[in-house]
Amino acid sequence: MSKNILHKSEGILAVKVARKAIENVLDGKEPEDDLPSVPIIFSEKRGAFVTLEKEGDLRGCIGYPYPVLPLKEVLVQSAVAAAFEDPRFFPIEKKDFAKTTVEVTTLTLPELLEGAFTKYSSLIEIGKHGLMAEYGEHRGLLLPQVAVEQGWDAIEFLCQTCVKAELTPMMWKYGAKVYRFEGQIYRETEPGGSIVEGED
């Protein structure tokens, strides 16, 4: 298991941070006020998404796919954006949030695939790893579940990640850097209730 995987207690904290940030805004406070204390791993730069569901229906989802900010900051900004800035929905109100569950998907730090490109496919486990491709100014990322949903094998996943980066499909053979990462989901079973790992 990757050393960058969150322990269950840390995943639970991530959801609590996201919920508290939204509650703060609804109470007229700054999003960062009185957040739960978090361990040092929340200072690492990593990607994460916050998803809100009201009575089983999507109510907002915003995130940072790339590791550009510390996890704690990503959680706060993504939570607030999911609640109040997702263009698909009206800003959430207190009465709605009382019926809304919070889900957090965190991404491990990207790990560069090294060595001969002919070995890359053996380093990718479908359903476990997401991929990110980089070449110059081009960068593209696909989450682990995408390959499963599309029925791709590792080679096709590599090609499609390059396409996402607006590169030719085979650029993973010709100089594009390819990174793998893992995604973890922690979610509330009911609004403000217990927090579990994994999807339904």
**Residues 94 and 133 placed together within one structural domain of the fold:** no
- pLDDT value for 79: 98
Round to whole Å and give the CA distance between 102 and 63. Answer: 13
- pLDDT value for 1: 40
In a domain, 3, yes or no: no
Residue 37 sits at the vertex; the CA angle it makes with 144 and 191, to the nearest 5 degrees, is: 60
**Mean pLDDT in consecutive groups of 10 residues from the start of the chain, 200 residues:** 78 98 98 95 94 94 93 98 97 96 93 95 95 96 91 98 97 97 94 88
In a domain, 144, yes or no: yes
**Residues 74 and 169 placed together within one structural domain of the fold:** no
129 DSSP 8-state letter: E
**Residues 18 and 80 placed together within one structural domain of the fold:** yes
**Residues 92 and 12 placed together within one structural domain of the fold:** yes
In a domain, 2, yes or no: no
**Entry pTM:** 0.83
**Residues 123 and 102 placed together within one structural domain of the fold:** no
What is the domain extent for residue 41?
8-108+182-197
Round to whole Å and give the CA distance between 51 and 49. Answer: 6
**Residues 90 and 189 placed together within one structural domain of the fold:** yes
In a domain, 46, yes or no: yes
- pLDDT value for 3: 58
| Strand 48-54 to 111-112 pairing | unpaired
Question: The domain that contains 38 carries what CATH number?
Answer: 3.30.700.20
